[in-house]
């Protein structure tokens, strides 16, 4: 037990417990993760990721780190952009998610380096990557400030961080979004993934995640410059971008 508390969805837990609880969620959902993403978002997650991939200014031969990469949607996009001469690392803290991602990419003929890695202690050298991405992962991390600092450390000067994450929806839509998140989402999770609790956690963790301006400030505090964000789907998600100078 430590004196430090944090959030796991709407529950307050000991800091030492959070990573284990998050691990349970993703071990449980890994097999159905991709189908659930399509069903829950009505396919919109593909648009959000497509926009993210097109935002990056990458060139052939660049080095990219996909943190909390899960089943590999962004990694696949990065690999196409940097070509065979580039380097794209698919990483995640969760072996079940990473195994699904690795197998999926292999089935598509993409052989990428894969690493089980905690974003808070990245096993990569300083100043190595041209781009670091994290999609729908930051929300689940216990020490987001430490993770952002690690992302800054491994980027080359001039390199970019892209954070795609759920954010604060526009006020007029809050009622209907809450109804969807807290009534429909857990039912879908139960029917499709046989796991209502993980999707209840998803809805709760989104509400506890820093809003657009707070995350922008956190990125500035971690050392990033030129930080800005772009809302998508009325703020349901936001893409934050920061540069290491």
Ligand X SMILES: C[S@@+](CC[C@H](N)C(=O)[O-])C[C@H]1O[C@@H](n2cnc3c(N)ncnc32)[C@H](O)[C@@H]1O
Residue 197 is labelled as binding a ligand = no
Minimum distance from residue 172 beta carbon to ligand X (Å): 27
Minimum distance from residue 75 beta carbon to ligand X (Å): 9
Residue 6 is labelled as binding a ligand = no
Summarize as ranges the residues that interact with ligand X (CB under 6 A). 22, 26, 67-71, 73, 92-94, 97, 118-120, 135-137, 140-141
Which string of DSSP letters, residue by residue, matches 160-196?
EEEEEEE-PPPGGGHHHHHHIIIIIHHHHHHHHHS-H
Helix ranges (H only) for 30-134 are 33-41, 44-55, 73-82, 95-107
Residue 234 is labelled as binding a ligand = no
Minimum distance from residue 245 beta carbon to ligand X (Å): 25
- Using the minimum distance from each CB to ligand X, give the nearer residue, 69 or 84: 69
Tally of CB atoms within 10 A around 106: 13
Taking the C-alpha atoms of residue 136 and residue 36, their distance in angstroms, rounded to an integer, is 14
- Using the minimum distance from each CB to ligand X, give the nearer residue, 76 or 168: 76
CA angle 87, 57, 232 (to 5 degrees): 110
- Using the minimum distance from each CB to ligand X, give the nearer residue, 6 or 71: 71
- Using the minimum distance from each CB to ligand X, give the nearer residue, 26 or 124: 26
Taking the C-alpha atoms of residue 115 and residue 126, their distance in angstroms, rounded to an integer, is 17
Residue 71 is labelled as binding a ligand = yes
- Which residue's Cβ has the minimum distance to ligand X? 70
Instruction: Give the residue numbers of the binding site for S-adenosyl-L-methionine.
Output: 71, 92, 118-119
């Amino acid at each position: 037990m430590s004196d430090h508390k944090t959030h796991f969805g709407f529950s307050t837990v000991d800091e030492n417990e959070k990573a284990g609880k998050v691990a349970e969620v993703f071990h449980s959902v890994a097999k159905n993760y991709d189908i659930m993403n399509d069903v829950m978002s009505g396919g919109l997650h593909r648009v959000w990721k497509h926009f993210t991939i097109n935002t990056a200014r990458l060139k052939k031969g660049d080095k990219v780190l996909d943190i909390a990469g899960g089943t590999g949607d962004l990694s696949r996009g990065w690999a196409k952009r940097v070509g065979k001469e580039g380097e794209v690392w698919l990483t995640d803290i969760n072996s079940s998610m990473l195994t699904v991602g690795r197998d999926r990419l292999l089935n598509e003929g993409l052989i990428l380096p894969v690493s089980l890695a905690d974003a808070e202690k990245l096993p990569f050298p300083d100043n190595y990557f041209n781009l670091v991405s994290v999609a729908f992962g930051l929300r689940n991390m216990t020490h987001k400030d430490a993770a952002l600092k690690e992302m800054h450390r491994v980027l080359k000067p001039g390199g970019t961080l892209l954070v795609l994450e759920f954010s604060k929806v526009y006020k007029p839509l809050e009622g209907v979004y809450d109804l969807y998140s807290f009534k429909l989402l857990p039912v879908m999770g139960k029917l499709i993934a046989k796991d209502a609790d993980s999707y209840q956690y998803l809805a709760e963790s989104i509400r506890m995640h820093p809003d657009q301006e707070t995350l922008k400030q956190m990125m500035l505090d971690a050392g990033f410059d030129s930080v800005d964000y772009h809302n998508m789907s009325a703020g349901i998600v936001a893409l934050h971008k920061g540069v290491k100078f």
